[in-house]
Amino acid sequence: MSGASQDVVIVRIFGSDLPMGGCGCGPGCCGSSNEDTGLVDSRSLREQARDLETTLVRYYGPAMRVEYIDIFSKEMDAFPEVTKLILERGLPLPLVTMNDDPKLAGGLPLDEISAELEALGVAPVVDAE
């Protein structure tokens, strides 16, 4: 896909801003972390999703959409397959889907999200700085 003619790519982030307790699964599971310092991002998951959208739109163009879905909201009624993944398979939050296909669970690593987008054929519209 070229950046100018690509279809809209919808990245959905399923999570919750409610305190979930320590899960012990490591950096990025209960929130994004800075791997260099080990610091956990204290912003809400909703804020992180908003920032992710800004970054992705800047890099991949206006065809990018990022939606945050709180797993405790009525919006989840539209995503029974995601509910099943979280409840039955125990996937850690946040769960990231791209055009409704589950791709990542347990964090919002920009490099992995970018790699998944590019594997889908999404081309950057600007050079990385």
* Ranges of each domain in the chain: 9-19+27-119
Predicted TM-score of the model (pTM): 0.76
Give the mean model confidence (pLDDT) for residues 22-45: 50
Whether 65 has a pLDDT exceeding 90, the answer reads yes
Give 113: exposed, middle or buried? Use CB within 10 Å, 0-12, 13-18, 19+. Answer: buried
Strand order in the sheet with 101-105: 64-70, 9-15, 95-98, 101-105
Superfamily of domain 9-19+27-119: Hypothetical protein sa0798. (3.40.30.30)
d(CA 52, CA 65): 10
Look at residue 77 in the predicted model and tell me its pLDDT.
96
Give the mean model confidence (pLDDT) for residues 13-26: 66
Whether 4 has a pLDDT exceeding 50, the answer reads no
Give the mean model confidence (pLDDT) for residues 45-54: 95
